Structure 1
């Protein structure tokens, strides 16, 4: 079957703290990844969103996982339009930035030569996974203020240009992209650029949520990300852990309904990736295993 199911991250602090997924004594970075990869054949790396990834880590990940294991990598937050504290950038990059009293740095305010170097390092960091045949989608989760206007569309196309040669998945976080009058044009852009339309399951209503659009825009891959349906926490402020936002436990009925849609879309693509992003404690891992059972996906297709 061409469906892989996994979770967003394997090292979320709440997952480790709950002590329900990893067996006793499984405490090192290597041991946790090896155990995770014995249960699932797909994972989404979210650390690459918060900080620049490294080629050395990618090489270790490739070496510590089975041949058929796949990593979907989140794009670095600066590339997706999110703000970043310049102090979180590499020291030499910090030194190359112009003096500023602003707390946060945005893509539009970053010098071109710095951006070029950051993109170069990012692509270099992905190369060991690509060489090993273990790089899936590079997932761009665009900021809520990247809206469907001339500037927003230009930025999405710019990212597609820079990432040419990679499978790029695009997830919008502003409702303007899939409003009734714009959904068809958004899908047309994705098809024209070969971007994978990310099908989401998430709370509906806020301006930073979009509907579930079960459409294929790249015949190689369908990507479904299940964020949970917790309206109360979707825009939570000052949470102790980022995963608190996705505190939701899918019930079997909800997963069965999703499984029917997943099976339908999987027939139109070469591969289907399903990522459980309800990563509070072990909710994602439990729900992923239940979903695999419903779908008839072998947990360890070795």
Structure 2
């Protein structure tokens, strides 16, 4: 097993498919695309599960369509991270438990605790085929900017670990209070004590571009969101345009050295490129694979 694995966030991104720069013309189905992707990379992050709870059948098909040792990381459903959730995305069995005033809204951020806990159970159950096949990596919890260090936030993180006791967990914080003084020591100790991986990120909102390399669990996890600062903060810009950024090799070389060092502390390290615009993520991921070999 490779000590450090590199992949992208999704193999079905619309602009990647439309660009015709990675998949051959004869590769037209979801199954064929996954099989082709797995010929080039041995890990991938699933983004669609943020928008709706995954289906167990899909997890089974993903496991069948990839070679032994391939690893999927699953992004947590929006309800499980406190993001606004489209009511229409909520499974019928859970909608039946919601009060009328919630059902009348297009999207909701606050849900009854019992509904959230049931969603956790459904999330884990759907991923069982991947776990049984040995192909389930991290469950990625990407928290919103308003998720700040507080008693309530730590209680939520405790719930995540409680509901998913046998899974590798990783968290990405979008509020820098978590990793700056005076909160940093407390938050990182909490993650270590609960065996939750802190997601190291390179992103437009980071001053100086590069965040710290911190290992808090057996798995180390790094995500590259691009550095398109202008589009990221511009109102009315399509989401895909925010990720329109191709890393320069010099920038990736510095990261390869940092990731290599982190891999000495972790049992397994993953580097995921989320600059999902056309083939940008694919190109950067391939370059990063080579740089890691040279580091």
- Residue 213 of structure 2 corresponds to 214
Q: Give the alignment partner of residue 260 of structure 2, picking from 251, 259, 263.
A: 263
Q: Give the alignment partner of residue 104 of structure 1, picking from 107, 119, 140.
A: 107
Q: 1:21 to 1:236 in 2, by over 3 A?
A: farther
Deviations 1:84-104 (CA, angstroms, capped at 9, x unpaired): 121121233223311014432
| Count of residues paired in the alignment | 291
SS of residue paired to 2:108: coil
Q: What RMSD over aligned residues (CA atoms) do the two structures have, in Å?
A: 1.8
Residue 200 of structure 1: CA displacement?
0.6
1 CA distance for matches of 2:156 and 2:209? 19
SS of residue paired to 1:168: strand
Deviates more, 1:83-92 or 1:181-190: 83-92
TM-score (norm 1): 0.92
- Residue 80 of structure 1 corresponds to 81
Gaps of 5+ in 2: none
2 CA distance for matches of 1:269 and 1:193? 15
Residue 211 of structure 1: CA displacement?
6.1
Deviates more, 1:176-185 or 1:221-230: 176-185
2 CA distance for matches of 1:210 and 1:255? 12
Decide whether the 8 Å contact of 1:10 with 1:43 is kept in 2. yes
- Residue 123 of structure 1 corresponds to 124
Residue 235 of structure 1: CA displacement?
3.3
Decide whether the 8 Å contact of 2:88 with 2:106 is kept in 1. no
Q: 1:168 to 1:181 in 2, by over 3 A?
A: same
Decide whether the 8 Å contact of 2:141 with 2:169 is kept in 1. yes
Decide whether the 8 Å contact of 1:175 with 1:210 is kept in 2. no
Decide whether the 8 Å contact of 2:141 with 2:171 is kept in 1. yes
- Residue 278 of structure 2 corresponds to 281
Residue 236 of structure 1: CA displacement?
4.2
1 CA distance for matches of 2:229 and 2:88? 33
